Amino acid sequence: MEKTLSAMAAVRGKVMRMPNVVGLGIGYKQIGGETTSHLAVTVLVSKKVPVDGLALGEKVPGKVGAVPTDVIEVGDIRLLQRTVNLRPAVPGISIGHYLITAGTFGLLVRDAHSEEPLILSNNHVLANISDGNDGRCSIGDPVWQPGRYDGGTSSDQIGTLLRFAPIYRDSMAPTCPVAKSAERLGNRLVHMVNTNYHVYFRRKADRANLVDAAAARPLSPDLVGDEILELGRPAGIAEAEIGQEVVKSGRTSGISRGKVQSLHVTIRVGLGDVGYADFGDQILTTAIAQPGDSGSAVLTNDLKVVGLLSAGSEQATIAGRIQRVFEILSVKL
């Protein structure tokens, strides 16, 4: 190690001035994609360039004395800020419907029919906790990156709401014309006595929600990328397994790891000032999320997507099965 450190120190000044070079280090030499047991001075470059495209003084020497060198492409290194305007935007950063605070850009997916790229997150992140009949959102609404809580404004619009799975609350405003007429009649009668009182009819939800999910269409495909921040490109999808280790990349808490505790979960979730909703066929993990992480993809250690994170507490986290999400929204990885 001492010999390799001395070799690195001897060439640091010269090598760091070469085009594309962004750093130096020490690692094991790689040959043909295989890691050897020989220590080398690793030269970190933003982009590898063919040797015949470099001038003589721009070429990294094959050795420094008796110590070999190894050139590693690392891209453009930058601070991993999750709450700033980032273009192209990637999964793991702040995003949100223009009326909400902020959530997480979960995955870049494709429409199952048109193949166009789409932004995947929660209904409550991209569609303002809508059941589709409550006026809380409309198809085509602006989606900002970063979200409003993180300083996002109309100039940060990255896309528009395309589709969402409705969230059916425990009780909702009636859609039946008869019930609406009865509600209006009841209010007319009550207001004849006291205008400070109002009659409201509420319809009890008759089904459990399976996903909290929505998709937005980016204003342009080049505004988004598919590599999850600090994790990389997803390797596919899979069913979660009890005891399985999982990881997520979220707007608030970044990279968090945990384990699947239970499957086929039915649970009541608080929706803030709009009440509660029951969710079925959910994945329960140990606590891997904080407020603002909603919408994050939940992945295995080999980067297979198993769920879409939507809710949680200090003790546990809830995610919808990714197969259900893709099926209901008609998208694919």
End-to-end CA distance of the chain: give it in Å, rounded: 44
CB atoms under 10 Å from CB of 36, counted, come to 13
- The mean pLDDT of 155-184, rounded to a whole number, is 79
Q: How many domains does the chain have?
A: 3
Q: Is residue 253 part of a domain?
A: yes
Distance (Å, rounded) from C-alpha 254 to C-alpha 229? 9
CA-CA-CA-CA dihedral for 154, 157, 161, 167, to nearest 10: -70
What are the E-state strand segments in 82-156?
A: 94-97, 103-104, 107-111, 117-121, 142-144
On whether both 318 and 243 belong to a single domain, the answer is: yes
**Domain of 256, in residue numbers:** 236-323
On whether both 244 and 319 belong to a single domain, the answer is: yes
On whether both 248 and 299 belong to a single domain, the answer is: yes
Query: What pLDDT digit, counting tens, does each position of 92-148 carry?
Result: 999 999 999 999 999 999 999 999 999 999 999 999 999 999 999 999 999 999 999
**CATH code, domain carrying 257:** 2.40.10.10
- The mean pLDDT of 13-24, rounded to a whole number, is 84
**What single-letter amino acid sits at 33?**
G
On whether both 245 and 312 belong to a single domain, the answer is: yes
Please list, in sequence order, all residues whose beta carbon lies within 8 angstroms of the beta carbon of residue 85, skipping any fewer than 6 positions away: 145, 146, 152, 156
**pLDDT at residue 5, as a whole number:** 87
**pLDDT at residue 36, as a whole number:** 87
- The mean pLDDT of 198-226, rounded to a whole number, is 82
**Residue holding tokens 């940060």?**
156
What's the mean per-residue pLDDT of the chain?
Answer: 89
The whole model's pTM is what? 0.75
Range list of H helices, 30-175: 123-126
**What single-letter amino acid sits at 242?**
I
Please list, in sequence order, all residues whose beta carbon lies within 8 angstroms of the beta carbon of residue 177, skipping any fewer than 6 positions away: none
Q: Is residue 148 part of a domain?
A: no
